[in-house]
Amino acid sequence: MRDVAMSGRWFTLFLALVACDKPAKEDPSVETKAGPAPVAAMPGDARCPATGLWAECSVLYRLERSGLAPHVDSTGVAGEKSLTGRALLIRFGTASQLEVFLYADSAARIADGAKLDRSTLVGATGQQTLRRERTLIENANLIGLLSSINDRLRERVSDALTAGAPQPTAP
């Protein structure tokens, strides 16, 4: 009796697998609008060259590869008015944001970064106080100002951006 029940189960499993293996027939009268998802330019792509300097696409790529979910806020304006680099505002959820300023080179970043009031900022490994200082991240031609009290997010964003900009490949 037990063998009959087992063979019945195997037969049912076999039928289920065969039924699932058949390709779905497409109805030519039904128009599908779903196409491939738009792909953002990534390092190595001609639209995002790996030059050893940060670009908007390489910043986003690095943050995404770090397991974060960055969302570019195209309507928002960076709050730091003293910096003159090309600004990009990135949000993480509803409570955290990263202001990224990109420069032509590291010398321009250093010169512009001298304008910052560093007493109101804290490094990525520094402890925030009750004033909730922004986290300062500097690397190559990038200045990042992260507003977040989440220590894990501060660490992950800092690690992603201080690892260095995508380097050119050797010929």
Query: What pLDDT tens digit does each residue of the chain (171 aa) get?
Result: 555 455 555 555 454 544 544 444 444 443 433 333 344 555 556 678 889 999 999 999 999 999 999 999 988 776 788 899 999 999 999 999 999 999 999 999 999 999 999 999 999 888 888 888 999 999 999 999 999 999 999 999 999 999 999 888 876
Q: Choose among 65, 69, 87, 86: nearest CA to 78.
A: 87
Residue 28 lies in a domain: no
How many domains, the chain?
1
Angle among Cα 4, 9, 10 to the nearest 5 degrees reads 95
67: domain CATH number?
Answer: 3.30.200
Residue 109 lies in a domain: yes
Residue 98 lies in a domain: yes
Residue 1 lies in a domain: no
Residue 117 lies in a domain: yes
- Beta strands 142-147 and 121-123: pairing type? unpaired
Residue 47 lies in a domain: no
CA dist., res. 86 & res. 76, Å (int): 14
Strand partners, 89: 99
Residue 60 lies in a domain: yes
Residue 3 lies in a domain: no
Instruction: Specify the amino acid at residue 2.
Output: R
Q: What is the pTM of this model?
A: 0.72
Give the structural domain span for 93.
56-162
